[in-house]
Amino acid sequence: MHARIMTFVVAVAAVVTLSCAKDPAVKKQESLAAGKRYFAQKKYGEAIIEFRKALQIDPKSGEARFELAEAYDRKGDAKLAFGEYVRVADLLPGNVVVQLWAGAFLIAAGKFEDAKARA
């Protein structure tokens, strides 16, 4: 009888553990949403943390990269913003807005040929 109770307890614990684990896509969307809320409140440091969490889940998320680039830019960290704008431009080659931002940062960095290639 004691073994059956232990087996039942272990089985219930396993089900609870599995049900608490979130789908990575859900976690990514939660981090993006939290980052956008922080960004709207001008809490750029907190927004950066959330956007980076989303990128840990999906490093190729163009949306998360663009939001991160904007947060770095608003925080005044041009070097990190530059890197993220270029990365997101590589991820989203058809997005004109992203390409313009990357081009602007490339021009500011004196990388005229790279900016010309983006144009």
CATH number of the domain that residue 97 is part of: 1.25.40.10
3 domain-assigned: no
Q: In this predicted model, which residue has the larger pLDDT, 64 or 116?
A: 64
Nearest of 53, 51, 57, 94 to residue 69 by alpha carbon: 51
12 domain-assigned: no
10 domain-assigned: no
Mean local confidence (pLDDT), 70-94: 95
58 domain-assigned: yes
8 domain-assigned: no
**pLDDT tens-digit profile of 8-50?**
545 545 444 444 457 889 999 999 999 999 999 999 999 999 9
CA 32 to the chain's CA centroid: 7
Structural domain of 91: 23-118
Nearest of 80, 52, 76, 78 to residue 64 by alpha carbon: 52
N-to-C CA span, the chain: 74
Q: Look at residue 117 in the predicted model and tell me its pLDDT.
A: 85
Q: Are 74 and 36 in contact (CB under 8 A)?
A: no
Please count the structural domains in the chain.
1
Mean pLDDT of the chain: 87
7 domain-assigned: no
Q: Name the token pair of 50.
A: 């959330």
16 domain-assigned: no
